[in-house]
Copies of this chain bind each other. A is one copy, B any other.
């Protein structure tokens, strides 16, 4: 008998009908002879509604009380799901993050899991129950306060529980059929990926793919927990994410896993920086001290006549204001002429372990963009990824062009999006 961890997102349990549908699917897994642990998110837009309420009573909601508020959403969905399962004649018990032994640090609103002690879950499973666990939440080790894990936290809860319980697989149910070779809303001919390695999935997640978040994949890779991303609206096989292909999955590995894009970043250019040692360090120390994560960095070739250069970097749009303020404040220490802020950029990334051994990939990528009339502003590469920054308006066309150029197009428009955004 195997142990399976299943995670259902908010769009899968958006209403009473959704909860009953999910309950049936859980009972099927149980009937197939598995021990079943289910991690569930808040119903539909519950979390956003709670955030909205919080903003009405306080302009800057944050910290301990905000976590206490947000975790109410998962308590509602998990209790309802347990009731719906009982109504199908099976025993189910729901557990808060704290009851499930999800121990975190004390960083409210984006806590990190530091340990999972699932004693009560194990006990409940051994009694033959289905265990339902509130996603997205834990309890802080030192203060015993309720914490939340930040966006996508329920996926991380599921993977962490799967690791702690030594599960065979962590199934992530969402509103799409799996991970696609590109965003199906942009590329109609995007193909579902049957299997993808942890490494390629990490690069896709870091490049803007929203099906799985980076942190969750990282956790799964560390503990070697296979993830099966699939739809809660269909019975189809989804995408397996693991270290090696499992079972009868295609042995022939694709050169390119997929094309990701991201329009959530902005670009800051620091103009007229003296081209001498320590200048870049001063800029990025300033940014780091403001606790801002940056993505791509490019330094122009210095103009010989002036001895000045420009440094550009990308960062989340939401951090733009903070970064500009921090740099302006430190302008005397750093020394630069001016700052340029541009939030009309997009990033297109090509990801695939195969590019290590296929030297033509970079050239083909740039050719495809050029043929589509897309101008490249910045370039960044890793061993298994190439990313470029373009105008935001060019992104959809660029993604389609690259997708076609690398032979990723499906023969049919197979991608189906069932519900909302699915987080």
CB contacts under 8 Å to B, within A30-84, are: 50, 53-54, 56-59, 61, 64-66, 68-69, 71-73, 75-76, 78-84
Cβ A57 vs Cβ B19 within 8 A: yes
> How many residues on the A side are at the interface (Cβ–Cβ under 8 A)?
37
A317 part of interface (Cβ distance < 8 Å) = no
A93 part of interface (Cβ distance < 8 Å) = yes
- In the assembly, what is the distance between CA of A80 and CA of B67, in Å? 11
Shortest CB distance A321–B (Å):
22
- In the assembly, what is the distance between CA of A94 and CA of B71, in Å? 13
Q: Which residue of B lies closest to A50 (CB)?
A: B76
Shortest CB distance A75–B (Å):
4
Cβ A86 vs Cβ B58 within 8 A: yes
CB contacts under 8 Å to B, within A213-241, are: none
A114 part of interface (Cβ distance < 8 Å) = no
Cβ A83 vs Cβ B57 within 8 A: yes
Interface centre among A53, A54, A93 (most CB of B within 10 A): A53
Cβ B57 vs Cβ A84 within 8 A: yes
- In the assembly, what is the distance between CA of A390 and CA of B389, in Å? 83
Cβ B53 vs Cβ A16 within 8 A: yes
Q: Which of B19, B69, B94 contacts A80 (CB 8 A)?
A: B69
Shortest CB distance A107–B (Å):
17
Q: A16-B53, A65-B94, A83-B66 are in contact. Are A75 and B72 (CB under 8 A)?
A: yes
Shortest CB distance A142–B (Å):
14
Encoded as 1 (CB less than 8 Å from any B CB) or 0, chain A from 69 to 113 comes to 101110110111111101100001110100100000000000000
- In the assembly, what is the distance between CA of A213 and CA of B78, in Å? 31
Q: Which residue of B lies closest to A88 (CB)?
A: B58
Chain B residues, Cβ within 8 Å of A188: none
Cβ B57 vs Cβ A20 within 8 A: yes
Q: Which of B20, B68, B76, B96 contacts A94 (CB 8 A)?
A: B68
- In the assembly, what is the distance between CA of A313 and CA of B75, in Å? 42
Chain B residues, Cβ within 8 Å of A83: 54, 57-58, 61, 65-66, 69
Cβ B76 vs Cβ A64 within 8 A: no
Q: A59-B87, A72-B72, A87-B59 are in contact. Are A66 and B79 (CB under 8 A)?
A: yes
Chain B residues, Cβ within 8 Å of A69: 75-76, 79-80, 83
Interface residues of A (CB under 8 A from B): 16, 19-20, 23, 50, 53-54, 56-59, 61, 64-66, 68-69, 71-73, 75-76, 78-84, 86-87, 92-94, 96, 99, 144
Q: Which 8 A-B residue pairings sit nearest by Cβ, starting from the closest? A: A69-B79, A16-B56, A68-B79, A58-B87, A58-B83, A57-B84, A65-B82, A72-B72
**Contacts A19-B57, A65-B79 known; 13 new A-B pairs at CB < 8 A:** A16-B53, A54-B83, A57-B83, A57-B84, A58-B83, A59-B87, A65-B82, A65-B86, A66-B79, A68-B78, A68-B82, A69-B83, A72-B73
